[in-house]
Each structure stands twice: as structure tokens, then as C-alpha cells.
Amino acid sequence: MRRLRMTGIMSVLTVGLALGAWLAFSAALAQTPPRQGDEVWKYLDSLPPTERRAVLEREAAREGSFVLYGQMGIDRAAHIQKVFNERYPDIKVNFVRQTAAEQSEKVLLEHRLNKMGGDVIMTDTSLLLVLRETFAPFEPSAVSDFDKRFVFGGKDKGWYAVVYELLPSVITWRTDRIPSSEAPKTLEALADPKWKDRVGTTTHLESFIEAMNGVFGEAEAAKRVLGLAKLDNRLFRSQAALGEALAAGTVDIAWNLSTLRADQMKSRGQPVDWVLQDPLFGIAVVATPLRQAQHPYAAALFTDFLLEAETLQKLEVAEGLKRMFGNLKGKFEFDVKEHPSLLPYPPVPEDAFKRHNLTAQKLFVRKEY
């Protein structure tokens, strides 16, 4: 009888503890969370992961929409919106397309005036040190799943920016003018004087020079950059313009072109081929909520969703573009683990940017060797 009585007491205690835990969880969900500002990010950081997703989904549904600032085409943004709305159909994505220069000026101005119009930003790594004050201190749920090369910032720095996609740089050539067996496959081979007056690249060389310094050290990098400059490159203001020049036959070889442009030309049947550039760099696009977001919960939910392995796999299939993704739990055409030398173009400090800009102007524009 005593044993039965004790068993009954224990059962009541177990049920009571479970009920108490459930009530505590329900209370946490039921409390009115902060709506805007740094209090939101502190609140989200205080929640256990299992609770945080529930809060994000509930509060994002209440907000109903968010604004995405991005340097991408409208068609690509539509793919992202479609995949997001398959899971969250009641949260509207309002996409605002921006150029790099426009984005940095607009976001910094809105942040300093405390009138932020965007909620999430997708930007390339070259702007991270310029824009970091505008980034939210939000740690995405999947950050521990990512290759460390794809993660910038951190809790100690007060901001996070995780690379959503990376467009590897390639050397591309016209197969009707250069047999693939003879085409240069590395930047060192490209620097051969026989390719002089036949090559082209973009005017945006500051990140390239910074990355070369990181791989080779400044002295050796300077020699290699000089070798490329002596090819008398034709310079183009954008990746798109460089790709069009190669397609039109204005140049025979394009270097530091993205896989996106090179593979699009090849898949359309144009006489081009390409190889991953060596050393291998890449244009890296990060995604992060903005600190002063007007819809912070929707922004955080979108960022969490975007960086999941399942989402990235769906986007790779939907867009059909050759890119690299850093979530190691996903299965992608390019496995980043097979490219240990890959270096996403790094953020460039302001003083270094000025030095690299002067170097590029001297060597590639004025051709002062």
C-alpha cells in the first residue's frame, strides 16, 4: 500500500513538473516581445533555439511582410521569394534592387537618420567593413553548419554576416580562337606575354589585390599583379560588360569573371569554355538582418530560412547556376571541402582600399610599369 501511495505521489509530481514546464513555455510565447530596436536582438539572443523559431514564426506572421535590399536581378530575387513563400505564404517579400554604390550610400544614410527602409540586406563581402554598423547582432541558427570561410563577424564583434552564395572566379576563353588544350588555366600561366592585348577583366580590382596579398604576401602578390597588368588588359565596368565583351569577340580571354556569367554563355551554345581560376577567389554574397529593421522578426526568420541546407539545395536546382554554398550539411554540385584554397573576396579596410585603387589605376589604367 505504501509503495502504491509513493508511486502515486511520484506520478503526480512528474505530471506537475511537466505541466509547469509547459506553462512556463506557453508564458514565454504569450509575453509581448519588443517590437523594434536593439531590444529585439537581445530578446532573440536570450531564447533557446527551439523557442526562438516558434517566436520568429509567430511574430513574423504578425508583421506580415519585410523589405529585402539586394544586389541581384529581379528574376533571381523571384526564385528566393517563391521558395520562402512555399513555407511561409502569408509573409510578403518586398524586393528592392540596388547597385553596390547605391546600396552602401542608401543603407548608411538611412541607418544614421534612424529611418531604415529595409529589413534584410544581401550584399557582397567587399562592403562588410563599410556597412557593419548597420548589421543586426543576430546569430543565424545554421551558423555552426557553415564552413568557417563563409562566416564573418561574430558575437564578439556585435554583428554577423554569413555567405549565402559564392560565385567562384574563372578564366574563360573563346574556343574558336584558342584551343582548350592551349588556354591558360592559372593566373600564372595567363601572365605569359603571349596573351598580351588579348585579355580583359573588370575595373574593380581592389578586392582582387587584397586577396592576392592574403595568399602570397604583399611582395610576391605585387609581382604577380604586375605580370597581369603588363598584358594591357581591356577593362570593363561590370561582370556583365566583361561577359558581353567576350561573347562579342572584343577579347579572347576574360579573367576574374564569375562562373555565373561564364556558364550562362557556354550553356547558350556560345564558343567559350572556362576553368576555375587558380588561385581561386569568389564574389561572396552575405545575408543579414539590418539592426534598425522595421520588421525585425520577419527579417530574422528569412535569414534563418535562407541559410538552411534544404533551402540552398532548392535554390541551386531552381536557378540552375554554378555557385558554391558553405552549409556543410547540404549536397551541392561544388563541394567546398574539395577546394581548401578557396578564398571569398575579403572585406577591404578603407586605407587598404585607397592603396589598392591607386595601384590598379597606375598599373591597369595608366599602364605605368
Annotate 63-97 with DSSP letters as a single string: H-EEEEEESS-HHHHHHHHHHHHHH-TTSEEEEEE
Q: What is the pLDDT of residues 11-60, one digit of tens each?
A: 544 444 444 444 444 444 456 899 888 999 999 999 998 899 999 999 99
pLDDT band at 118 (very low <50, low <70, confident <90, very high): very high
- Let me know if 203 is exposed, middle or buried by CB neighbors in 10 A (0-12, 13-18, 19+): middle
Domain 167-282+347-365 has CATH 3.30.300.130: no
Report the topology of domain 36-166+283-344. Answer: D-Maltodextrin-Binding Protein; domain 2 (3.40.190)
Indicate the range of 12-21, 69-78, 187-196, 235-244 predicted with least confidence. Answer: 12-21
Sign of CA dihedral 124, 321, 76, 97: positive
The residue whose grid cell reads 595601384 is 359
Q: Do domains 36-166+283-344 and 167-282+347-365 have the same CATH topology?
A: yes
Is the distance from CB of 80 to CB of 93 less than 8 angstroms?
yes
DSSP 347: P
Where would I find the H helices in 230-295? 239-248, 259-267
Dihedral Cα 342, 343, 344, 349, nearest 10 deg: 180
Average pLDDT rounded to a whole number, residues 359-367: 95
Q: Given pLDDT bands bounded at 50, 70 and 90, which one contains residue 1?
A: very low
Q: What are the pLDDT digits (tens) for 274-333?
A: 999 999 999 999 999 999 999 999 999 999 999 999 999 999 998 888 999 999 999 999
- pLDDT, averaged across the chain: 91
From CA 339, how far away is CA 325, in angstroms rounded? 12
Kindly report, residue by residue over 142-164, the tens digit of the pLDDT.
999 999 999 999 999 999 999 99
pTM: 0.86
269-308 burial, b if ≥16 CB within 10 A, otherwise e?
A: ebebbbebbbbbbbbbbbbbbbbbbbbbbbbbbbbbbbbb
Cβ neighbours, 10 Å, residue 17: 10
Return the percentage of the chain with pLDDT > 90, whole number.
83
pLDDT in tens, 164-179: 999 999 999 999 999 9
| Residue 320: predicted pLDDT | 86
Q: What is the pLDDT of residue 31?
A: 66
Per-residue pLDDT band at 204 (split at 50, 70, 90): confident
Query: Hey, where are the domains in the chain?
Result: 36-166+283-344, 167-282+347-365
Instruction: Provide the 3-class DSSP secondary structure of residue 33.
Output: coil
**Greatest C-alpha distance within the chain:** 99
